[in-house]
């Protein structure tokens, strides 16, 4: 049974999601549908997609192919961040997503706060709210993605419907940088969704200061669970035990099945959770770092600069 987190609008979002977009799945219709089918059959009940990934249609097809009850699957999608803030432009984009999915998503996010010069993000949000009030998005939760404190404040100043989540790169090595943002989110009951939760293991060149800690905890869990547990499993547990939705992905069937099994592993102890958090805060490493560092300076901590600029 996948754990859930209660959102401010009363809905419960599954805390572990399979992402249908990265790991070579973007715009690969047949592959993303096949992997979606594998994920659903394995037991995932939350799929994360986006217009920008080109996988909304494949996500809808996978759900229909498996024959799952639509009410039993949580679907998160994201609309383009490069739209005009006019209601008609946003309606057209939303309708494109609904047509691709062939149903309403449970959660609709603004993918990035990059609104063109003809409008501001607050106006964009207001236009999105209008689609809820007029019925086009009735019953759909609204959220944001990649929003810095100033972006979130701009929306909160005008919001009649508060964003229920902010999806962003989240793992122990960005905690110090995110501290003011996470504080603001807590004040408004905005849940964090984590993409890139495995960055300290999969993308950092050598794992950083957390590597021996994660390996030690994985060894303990392996003995308790009676099966192999690795450092990535520990990071997923740390994420969901901190009431953060973990969005991760794979296109390998064996790995997809292993991911869903993480939720059934023994919990980390409070001491282990705290140790990962505190050590993570002593170091800074962000993989997707384009706009998140603009007018939101990262902390002055030890780091290894990313060799590639990534845009989420």
- Does a structural domain hold residue 50? yes
Q: Which residues are catalytic?
A: 53
- Does a structural domain hold residue 308? no
Mean residue pLDDT of the chain comes to 92
Q: Read off the DSSP letter of residue 213.
A: H
CB 287 within 8 A of CB 199: yes
- Does a structural domain hold residue 311? no
Domain range for 122 is 4-293
- Percentage of the chain beyond pLDDT 70 is 93
Flag whether pLDDT at 36 surpasses 70: yes
- Give the whole-angstrom CA distance, residue 96 versus residue 61: 15
**Residue owning tokens 């990962």:** 276
Name which residue leads in pLDDT, 225 or 310: 225
- Give the whole-angstrom CA distance, residue 262 versus residue 233: 6
- Does a structural domain hold residue 233? yes
Give the pLDDT score at 293.
83
Write the CA distances from 167 to 108, 118, 147, 219, integer angstroms. Answer: 11, 25, 8, 30
Give the pLDDT score at 27.
65
Q: What is the mean pLDDT of residues 196-203?
A: 96
- Give the whole-angstrom CA distance, residue 151 versus residue 116: 14
- Flag the least confident range among 73-77, 90-94, 110-114, 194-198: 110-114
Backbone angles phi, psi at 263, to 5 degrees: -65, -15
- Does a structural domain hold residue 300? no
Which class for 271: exposed (0-12), middle (13-18), buried (19 or more C-beta within 10 A)? exposed
pTM, to two decimals? 0.94
Q: What is the pLDDT of residues 112-130, one digit of tens each?
A: 888 766 568 898 899 999 9
- Does a structural domain hold residue 83? yes
Backbone angles phi, psi at 244, to 5 degrees: -120, 135
Among residues 152, 187, 156, 153, the alpha carbon closest in space to that of 166 is found at 152
Q: In CATH, what number is assigned to the domain containing residue 84?
A: 3.20.20.100
Q: How many domains does the chain have?
A: 1
Q: How confident is the model at residue 26 (pLDDT cuts 50, 70, 90)?
A: low
- Does a structural domain hold residue 97? yes
- Does a structural domain hold residue 312? no
């Amino acid at each position: 049974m996948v754990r859930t987190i209660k959102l401010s609008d009363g809905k419960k979002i599954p805390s572990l999601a399979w992402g249908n977009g990265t790991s070579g799945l973007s715009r690969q219709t047949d592959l993303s549908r096949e992997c979606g089918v594998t994920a659903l059959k394995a037991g995932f009940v939350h799929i994360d997609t986006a217009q920008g990934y080109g996988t909304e249609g494949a996500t809808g097809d996978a759900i229909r192919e498996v024959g799952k009850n639509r009410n039993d699957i949580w679907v998160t999608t994201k609309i383009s961040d490069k739209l005009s803030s006019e209601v008609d432009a946003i309606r057209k984009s939303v309708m494109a997503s609904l047509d691709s999915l062939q149903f309403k998503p449970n959660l609709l996010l603004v993918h990035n706060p990059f609104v063109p010069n003809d409008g501001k993000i607050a106006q964009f949000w207001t236009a999105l709210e209008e689609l809820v009030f007029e019925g086009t998005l009735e019953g759909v939760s609204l959220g944001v993605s990649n929003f810095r404190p100033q972006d979130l404040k701009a929306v909160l100043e005008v919001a009649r419907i508060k964003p229920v989540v902010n999806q962003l790169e989240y793992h122990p090595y960005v905690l110090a940088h995110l501290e003011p943002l996470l504080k603001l989110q807590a004040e408004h009951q905005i849940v964090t969704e984590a993409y890139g939760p495995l960055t300290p293991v999969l993308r950092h060149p050598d794992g950083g200061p957390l590597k021996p800690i994660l390996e030690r905890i994985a060894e303990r869990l392996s003995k308790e669970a009676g099966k192999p547990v690795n450092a990535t499993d520990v990071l997923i547990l740390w994420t969901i035990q901190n009431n953060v939705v973990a969005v991760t992905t794979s296109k390998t069937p064996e790995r997809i099945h292993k991911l869903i099994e993480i939720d059934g592993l023994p919990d980390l102890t409070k001491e282990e959770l705290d140790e990962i958090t505190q050590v993570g805060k002593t170091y800074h490493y962000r993989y997707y770092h384009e706009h998140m560092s603009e007018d939101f300076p990262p902390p002055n901590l030890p780091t290894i600069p990313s060799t590639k600029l990534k845009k989420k």
